[in-house]
Copies of this chain bind each other. A is one copy, B any other.
């Protein structure tokens, strides 16, 4: 039991439990039958990267047809819209089937249809559509320069800046306008372009976000944010798109060129391993995310063991690490918390006395598993901490004798300028409190995080070299200058 002298510090209120940490998903392919349906399946498999909006664009060689709307892939597309996309792509005479797709993650302010991607535009060289995952750090000065030259913007999105750069380079007679445009960008970006005669896929020189290349059974290629999309499409994983590379898919097959040298060191987002990517994907190396997360759990036990009876994961995000922690510790792994799979965004939050009930609704405690036990709870990370505290209360009321919370990543203390929608640092509990304070805030008997070194050791052995990761959200060390931008500014206009 917590020392009565160490009363939990009151949190302002238990408000909002969705701590959005998602990222966009992108896809592109050329020469694929039923191009719309393939894109639809790929987007479905990447739905965990973005739930705000979804869209697909396809070309018949003359024009680009786009279908996009707010909401989940399942809501955005129906038989009619897929049929239209399939037919449009199939109308191209020689090699048909060019399409790209995009899932957008959820933000609050800029959540509107105008921002749904792919974004479509026309310029001197014809029509183009683009799907973008990332965040351009120098978008503001680029945009100012373009506005100074008379360019007219229709949205506040980074993505539109990229298209304007392309249009300007093209009008200026540049030999490779796309490469020239991309070379101006700083930040995290995967960009999939659809032109009338090709798909072009580019990855930033730092390799921030994952982007993989696969080959379909019929020899056609596809690019996607994660390997799970390749698995679903029946495609073999070929390799990652390299940092600074442009891959072109067209009637002649695949070709590659560079728009920039890869930066050294690279800046893979370590939070992809921690939370963002699907457990079944292989990113930044040959091992699955599930596997690496289990190893994080093992390392967490070695760094911060606990005297306890059982190990219980916070479902679903803590399950992989909890298995590793239990394995290393030899303590029993028990599923003592059952999530309610039906509580989503449309849940009406009661305002009266039922608020506590609403919080309880999200998780059901299996009482005869936790009652009277010393319980280790494993979760992947803590953002604001408000919902974690509510969950700890619920465990305590269900009879847990001791609660030892172990987090399989370091404290999140810094803004991300490269595409993760953390709340402002004011709201990040670890940016404002010590670990001891957080333990008291959450009302747990002990709290420990995985160390940055521990995390880097694990990913360094199983993923990319440890030095090739961006750990800014944990360490505050930003791989590139962020120009004094605030995270909020950055994020109001990103992917």
Least CB distance from A260 to B in Å reads 22
Q: Is the CB of B150 within 8 A of A350?
A: no
Q: Which of B40, B232, B344, B366 contacts A348 (CB 8 A)?
A: B40
A286: chain B residues at CB < 8 Å are 368
* Given A279-B335, A291-B368, A344-B74: A233 in contact with B150 (beta carbons within 8 A): no
A37: chain B residues at CB < 8 Å are 350, 352, 354
Least CB distance from A488 to B in Å reads 16
The answer to the question of A94 belonging to the interface, with a C-beta cut-off of 8 Å to chain B, is no
Q: Is the CB of B44 within 8 A of A290?
A: no
Residue-wise, chain A 404-445 has the 8 Å CB interface mask toward B (1 for contact) of: 000000000000000000000000000000000000000000
Least CB distance from A187 to B in Å reads 20
* Given A47-B340, A342-B72: A121 in contact with B353 (beta carbons within 8 A): no
The answer to the question of A124 belonging to the interface, with a C-beta cut-off of 8 Å to chain B, is yes
The answer to the question of A77 belonging to the interface, with a C-beta cut-off of 8 Å to chain B, is yes
A266-289 at interface with B (beta carbon < 8 Å): 278-282, 286-288
Scoring A75, A332, A340 by chain B CB atoms within 10 A of each residue's CB, the highest score goes to: A340
Q: Is the CB of A234 within 8 A of B357?
A: yes
The answer to the question of A87 belonging to the interface, with a C-beta cut-off of 8 Å to chain B, is no
Least CB distance from A494 to B in Å reads 17
The answer to the question of A358 belonging to the interface, with a C-beta cut-off of 8 Å to chain B, is yes
A485: chain B residues at CB < 8 Å are none
Q: Is the CB of B288 within 8 A of A369?
A: yes
Least CB distance from A178 to B in Å reads 14
A122: chain B residues at CB < 8 Å are 147, 152-154, 156
Residue-wise, chain A 305-331 has the 8 Å CB interface mask toward B (1 for contact) of: 000000000001001100100010000
Give the number of times this chain occurs in the complex, counting copies. Answer: 4
Chain B residue nearest to A235 in the complex (CB) = B357
The answer to the question of A148 belonging to the interface, with a C-beta cut-off of 8 Å to chain B, is yes
In the assembled complex, the Cα of A198 lies from the Cα of B401 at a distance in Å of: 40
In the assembled complex, the Cα of A79 lies from the Cα of B34 at a distance in Å of: 27
Least CB distance from A379 to B in Å reads 16
In the assembled complex, the Cα of A287 lies from the Cα of B344 at a distance in Å of: 29
In the assembled complex, the Cα of A335 lies from the Cα of B232 at a distance in Å of: 19
* Given A121-B154, A124-B147: A338 in contact with B278 (beta carbons within 8 A): yes
In the assembled complex, the Cα of A366 lies from the Cα of B277 at a distance in Å of: 13
Residue-wise, chain A 331-351 has the 8 Å CB interface mask toward B (1 for contact) of: 011111010111110111010
The answer to the question of A231 belonging to the interface, with a C-beta cut-off of 8 Å to chain B, is yes
A282: chain B residues at CB < 8 Å are 367-368
Least CB distance from A462 to B in Å reads 10
A166: chain B residues at CB < 8 Å are 152
A288: chain B residues at CB < 8 Å are 366-369
A348: chain B residues at CB < 8 Å are 40, 77-79, 82
Least CB distance from A104 to B in Å reads 14
A341-383 at interface with B (beta carbon < 8 Å): 341-344, 346-348, 350, 352-354, 356-358, 360-361, 364-369
A320: chain B residues at CB < 8 Å are 335
Known: A41-B354, A234-B357; 16 extra A-B contacts, CB below 8 A, are: A40-B348, A44-B340, A74-B346, A79-B348, A121-B154, A149-B150, A150-B169, A150-B170, A151-B171, A234-B356, A278-B338, A280-B338, A286-B368, A288-B367, A320-B335, A341-B341
Q: Nearest 4 pairs between A and B by C-beta?
A: A150-B171, A280-B364, A150-B168, A152-B167
